[in-house]
Amino acid sequence: MSRAVITGCGIVSALGLGTRAFWNALSEGRAAVGPIRHFDASKLPTRVAGEVPVLETNGTWLREALGGHLSEVAIEAWEQSGALRDRKIGFGWVAALEAWRQAGCGDDGQDTWLSMALGLEQAFLEDFGPLLRKEGGRPSIDWAAESGAPLPRVRFRSRIDLCAEGLTSMLRLGGPVIPHVSACAAGTLAVAHAASLIERGAATRVLCGASDSMVNPLGLGGMSRLGAPSPRAEPDACRPFDRRRDGLVIGEGAAMFVVESEERALARGALPLARILGWGSTQDAYRATAPLPDGAMAKRAMQQALKRAGLSARDIGYVNAHGTGTPLNDPAEARAIREVLGHVPVSSIKGAVGHLMAASGAVELAACLLPFQRDCLPGTAHHRERDPECDIDVIGERPREAHVDTVLSNSFGFGGQNATIILGRWS
């Protein structure tokens, strides 16, 4: 059985573009949630986000960010199609290129698979706005208003794998493409799937990770209707595991990884960033937008990951929690962590970068590389008041120095999807 290792990592987040900006900010305990700038959110109930510091993800930005890796013809075609309005497409490309370069990969992607989690948002409010009508006092969409559309009920939908399509072209990837759409656990599952392909010999190299952005009027409005975001439009809107927590804050961005067999990596002189040791996945089968209160299935996902890794609870040196800062998620997760792992340092980076939805697990896995890179455990931005309902060792706002060899990351999603992945220090 081949061992799966991570040899490249690329990140786009509210903390900036690139792994260096991301790890520097986490090492310094900085947070980047603030007022939304790339559109007018003043009339929305949610007006703050973990927004990537890019006002327009247009062709001009891509030319600079990709440095010629996507042809001028291709960039113009993507821009004319209108697809670049979807910020997660460009974020995914930029993160993937950084991971590809960091791993030392070149024009040899013919046998490389792509395992990628993508957000499911396929249209924007600006598409629907001109067609909104009121019938009997109730809003509706006049699907017949554009008579030239061949399939009126689906014409605004774009394919969810456009980011993946652009990546396969830009990096000339020749292997199968696998989109993951399991909500906020999807990013973790995309990486776990890559590791499983490596372990069983189905693939020798996989580009994997996630990209998402719901920082737009339709995305924010929908989440607000669910009551998930904090009602406070403040930089500390998300306060994971804090007694005062009152909801999440939405973020955006991408994290991509090159995962390959350890043999292949060492043979070509690549230096692994970490080993992928184990993973687990379960389903709450409870409610669409609420976790199982006793955390039983989250607990089982962690137990599965430990078993697959051949580790015991005392081997885990740090937990990067899903830690949404919502009233229901944090106590359930804290209960599961305490019962499985006992007293172990735990933090959540969602107070610093927001909840990146489908990309959250991937970006948080990138944060899990920080202990191996700098002997530093990320802090939990805006965690100031301990909650007895979250009786675990929560790292506060300042990062904690520590040398650990094994870290565990949790990701839980709407629909009851739970995923856990364990990384080990490579030496």
- Residues with a known catalytic role: 184, 322, 355
Q: Is the dihedral of CA 129, 134, 137, 139 positive or negative?
A: negative
| Dist CA 345 CA 226 (whole Å) | 31
Asked if 83 contacts 118 with a C-beta cutoff of 8 angstroms, the reply is no
CB atoms within 10 A of CB 320: 27
**Token pair of 369, please?**
């590389």
What's the Cα-to-Cα distance from 306 to each of 63, 340, 341, 397, rounded to whole Å?
43, 10, 10, 28
Q: Which residues contact 320 (CB under 8 A, 6 or more apart)?
A: 346, 347, 348, 349, 364, 365, 367, 368, 378, 407, 408, 409, 410
Helix (H/G/I), strand (E/B), else coil: 237: coil
**How many C-beta atoms surround the C-beta of residue 204 within 10 A?**
17
DSSP string covering 186-207 = HHHHHHHHHHHHHHTTS-SEEE
Count Cβ atoms below 10 Å from residue 101 Cβ, excluding itself.
15
Contact (CB, 8 A) for 310 and 285: no
Token representation of residue 6: 């991570």
Q: Which uninterrupted H or E stretch holds 222?
A: helix 217-226
Locate tokens 């389903």: which residue? 283
DSSP 8-state secondary structure symbol assigned to residue 171:
T
Q: Does residue 395 contact residue 346 with C-beta atoms inside 8 Å?
A: yes
Rounded to whole angstroms, the Cα distance separating 244 from 344 reads 23
